[in-house]
A and B are shown apart, each in its own frame.
Chain A
């Protein structure tokens, strides 16, 4: 049975349609991520699920139980906030115990559960500190412990890592994922960071303008995007008008990821089904593991290509004439007007 069921959920803020008929079904034990640009409705969806916002239409149910009329305090969902939202006037242990006390858990039971969860999030011995004495990463671990200790039906996370620096972000997301696997708790995760979404999720829903664009595994989202929005939001991609690349073929836009474009200073022979373009390098940017080239292809526009960092003598200087090869297997066509994949 699905753990979370959303059915045609609608939410308006004045004139803005924040959620325009969202339906999702999230399985029990799944790590499910809402991914999209800011203002796409992903946070609103999370907030309607826990009850911070009332839905205008549609239904929300968790574990088969309709939630729309249940007040937030009785929904039994754990939430982790972008701003951590720790209670600054309470110690770490008091923060974590807050939800247990609301549930009338006995003091002794409470203490042992707090100690256990703090150990789980690597904060054993930090119980007596106040939140301001902790680093950002530690504060969010407290936030996580506080949300999990109540053994909620589902765990909701709203951009939990975006206030942390890059290295810590990667470390903590791996810890979160490991903890989720271990406990098997159904998790709904919100982020605008596509790399983070790809790294942690079982499945991802890409959202834009209040609607779900595509639901799929990270692999499907990246390699088989349902439309041009998903293709361009998740990872980088080149769009070239079909008339420039494949005259006589089907109309539309042809898309290819930079890492699939092959760059050569010599013309390609026996292309087979593959397509090709000629152009001149505008710039080459060396970023460590890869070199990316911006290639001016005249009327076809600019095309980006990436190569694994080659030997120094193989770098192509700007202004060089190059031949681009687009392997047929890596190509996708999109309708120019609707953006739908053809």
Chain B
């Protein structure tokens, strides 16, 4: 009946998946079977990776530091979720917004801030050593895990909180009536019930930690993980080996796919049929308990936003070369606009271009996936979702490998950066617009056609306006992730396409801490303003968690 325009959209979806996801992944896969010369087929890379202790250690490092970060994220996120859903804590919205701010800030700004705090010259270390305490530095695996935990706990927090708010109150009451109270009730009833959402949050934290490039690059020193090693093998001039880099990428994809399967299995074993008839009651604590719970919540969120505040403060410090001087001025911002103005304009241009593409194509694909169900769209949805399992660095390397072979003049230009942002974020937008549509009664569109509107007119006049708030919120969040993107762009950029996160990274590596702080502050402010707008549109937690 109405097949004409939507069949085209579905075809476009498949074409994008083929060009921007399947081809790069296959390109990486293929390269992993070529030796260093790039001419002979061999299994040498895999033998090297699993035979050489150096690479085996990097694989183990990756898994362990991501697991440690995930564990930390759970230790921060679950208590915060329990406290805020069960008790009346003042300023819940503020807590959520701040948590999301630390989640969405550029992935290595936290790392950089902790260098200012607990680095070799960190101010906290100075203070502590003045008191005679020799504090550990932030460098190394524990520091990386800490930064991961502080950045990714909001995912565990938000998903667990939404899980908790759909657990029927009577289940809690039943457990109490059967004599389970306190910790016993928590571990035997409440947490098992939210395991599906808790584990989904933990999985997302794990995948982001595993794929993270900036933090281990800045804090790792000699501690190597798969993404940093792949980057070095791919870009280094001394021991460049694209085949081995590709093999590392494949292993990275396998580990994250394994994590997804494990989480699916965990969540399906505990399939909870939620029949919500009585919402969980929000209890009001009395006296010192209230203050303790409130302090715990603000402590966790404050801990994670503290580094952002440190950076903002340092951005106004006087600097002389790499050294911060006493007093404040705007010198760092002058440096930014004199030394790296293209980074700012590139970031703005690329992120807006990517978001425009995402909004148009993501909305149409979301509509197709949710309303035009067919064999083709049923395949398209999970295909798009595979973008989640492909770390940015892998996508970047795959883009280079694919587009250097195709007769498309993409490499080295701005468009390839835009396409990388686009495809990494597209599945999210497709999902969220499909989810918005689930809330819209399909009969509304039928009513419009029965009143004489053609299918296209019905979509434009009735369905689209209802999708707008959700789509705008999704677009702003896409913009935030695009403007903060590092791991794919660092592989794809060239001098004239440098972006703000890449500049920050270089500034940190080169010791230009003042300029780095100023650039980071600009990104943090942009992120904060965007979140404020999203929050007033739909509420921030609905928009962040797919």
Contact = CB atoms under 8 A, between A and B. Distances in A.
A35 interface: no
Given A73-B454, A102-B457, A87 B462 contact: yes
A124 B39 CA distance: 81
Interface stretch (A50-58, A196-204, A244-252, A284-292): A50-58
A138 B457 CA distance: 27
B533 interface: no
B91 interface: no
A150 B453 CA distance: 12
A167 interface: no
A162 to B, nearest CB: 13
B446 A81 contact: yes
A98 B454 contact: no
A102 B452 contact: yes
A74 B444 contact: no
A180 to B, nearest CB: 18
B441 A77 contact: no
Given A83-B441, A85-B441, A89-B466, A102 B446 contact: no
B452 A103 contact: yes
Contact of B452 (A52, A73, A89): A73
A75 B451 CA distance: 9
Nearest to A152: B450
Contacts of A50: 450
Contact of A72 (B441, B443, B449, B466): B449
Interface in A289-331: none
B452 A87 contact: no
A102 B462 CA distance: 13
Interface in A79-111: 79, 81-83, 85-89, 98-99, 102-103
Contacts of A102: 451-453, 457
A71 interface: yes
A50 B444 CA distance: 15
A71 B453 CA distance: 10
Interface in B250-266: none
Contact of A99 (B443, B444, B451): B451
A116 B444 CA distance: 24
A66 B539 CA distance: 50
B1 A150 contact: no
A73 B455 contact: yes
B447 interface: yes
Q: Looking at chain B, what size class is its interface with the partner chain?
A: 20 to 34
A51 B453 CA distance: 13
Contacts of A85: 441, 443-444, 446-447
Contacts of A54: 1
A23 interface: no
Contact of B447 (A51, A79, A89): A79
Given A85-B441, A87-B462, A79 B450 contact: yes
Contacts of B82: none
A98 B451 CA distance: 7
Nearest to A79: B450
Nearest to A75: B450
Contacts, number: 69
A51 B1 contact: yes
A83 B439 CA distance: 13
A98 B465 contact: no
B1 A87 contact: no
Interface in B428-484: 441, 443-444, 446-455, 457-458, 461-462, 465-466
A98 B466 contact: no
B381 to A, nearest CB: 20
A61 interface: no
Nearest to B455: A73
Contact of A81 (B447, B453, B461, B462): B447
Given A52-B446, A81-B443, A102-B457, A88 B466 contact: yes
Interface in B1-31: 1
- Most chain B CB neighbours (cut-off 10 Å) among A88, A146, A150: A88
Contacts of A75: 450
Contact of A79 (B446, B461, B465, B466): B446
A78 interface: yes
Nearest to B462: A87
Interface string B61-83: 00000000000000000000000
Contact of A87 (B448, B455, B457): B448
Nearest to B466: A89
Contacts of B1: 51, 54, 71-72
Interface string A107-121: 000000000000000
A283 interface: no
A77 to B, nearest CB: 6
Nearest to B446: A52
A209 interface: no
A52 B445 CA distance: 11
A99 B465 CA distance: 17
B98 to A, nearest CB: 32
- Most chain B CB neighbours (cut-off 10 Å) among A76, A99, A143: A99
Contacts of B455: 73
A83 B441 CA distance: 8
B10 to A, nearest CB: 19
B468 to A, nearest CB: 9
B452 to A, nearest CB: 4
B452 A74 contact: yes
A72 B462 contact: no
A267 B239 CA distance: 110
A283 to B, nearest CB: 31
A99 B450 CA distance: 8
Interface string A41-55: 000000000111010
- Most chain B CB neighbours (cut-off 10 Å) among A52, A87, A89: A87
A45 to B, nearest CB: 15
Contacts of B452: 73-74, 76, 99, 102-103, 150
Contacts of B449: 51-52, 71-73
- Most chain A CB neighbours (cut-off 10 Å) among B447, B455, B462: B447
A54 B454 CA distance: 16
Contacts of B443: 81-83, 85
Contacts of A99: 451-452
A55 to B, nearest CB: 11
Contacts of B462: 87
B451 A150 contact: yes
A330 B18 CA distance: 72
Contacts of B447: 79, 81, 85-87, 143, 146
A99 to B, nearest CB: 3
Given A79-B446, A83-B441, A73 B466 contact: no
A333 B447 CA distance: 45
Contacts of A79: 446-447, 450
A87 B444 CA distance: 6
- Most chain A CB neighbours (cut-off 10 Å) among B441, B451, B452: B451
A89 B465 contact: yes
A82 B443 CA distance: 9
- Most chain B CB neighbours (cut-off 10 Å) among A54, A72, A81, A147: A72
Nearest to B449: A72
Interface string A5-49: 000000000000000000000000000000000000000000000
10 contacts: A51-B449, A71-B449, A76-B452, A82-B443, A85-B441, A85-B443, A99-B451, A146-B447, A150-B451, A150-B452
- 9 cross-chain pairs, A with B, having the tightest CB-CB distances, nearest first: A99-B451, A102-B452, A85-B443, A85-B447, A79-B450, A72-B449, A81-B443, A85-B444, A73-B449
Given A79-B446, A81-B443, A99-B451, 16 more contacts: A50-B450, A51-B449, A76-B452, A78-B450, A81-B447, A82-B443, A85-B443, A85-B444, A85-B447, A87-B444, A98-B451, A99-B452, A102-B457, A146-B451, A150-B451, A150-B452
Interface of A: 50-52, 54, 71-79, 81-83, 85-89, 98-99, 102-103, 143, 146-147, 150
